[in-house]
Amino acid sequence: MELPFQDISLRRSYQDPEETENYNLYNGQKKQIGDCQKRSLLHLAESLWSLELERTSYLILLLVVLFSSQGGQLDNLKDVDRFQNQYMMLLFRYLQAKHGQEKVHQYLSKIMTFVLNLLTNAY
């Protein structure tokens, strides 16, 4: 018994060098993008770790970053900015109470550099 469509093959042929080159180029670019994203995330994690904050400070910092009007299409940008400022002041007062007036500016400087880099996609 003879099967219909015997000449059709489900295997892909890589005989065409241009097609193979494009395929390899695409996979290479995908790998480079993935590697770049991994390095970026690792750099972000290292920067966050280098802030040497305790859990409460990290949670307040998370709120500062979440309430950012940077790059968003929001109707109530003034409210978002107001909330971000309130959480920034809360973080300042918390760090001041926890570490004293002498070290609060040092911590805040490191935190603001981190937030600025994060919001401007420097990572």
* 87 CB neighbour count, 10 Å cutoff: 19
* pLDDT tens digit sequence for 18-51: 555 555 555 666 667 777 878 887 888 888 888 8
pTM equals: 0.61
CA atoms within 13 A on the CB side of 118: 20
What is the per-residue pLDDT across 49-104, written as a single tens digit (0 to 9) for each? Answer: 888 889 999 999 999 888 887 766 667 788 888 999 999 999 999 999 998 998 89
Q: What is the mean pLDDT of residues 97-120?
A: 88
Pinpoint the alpha helices (H) of the chain: 17-50, 55-66, 77-99, 101-119
38/105: higher pLDDT: 105
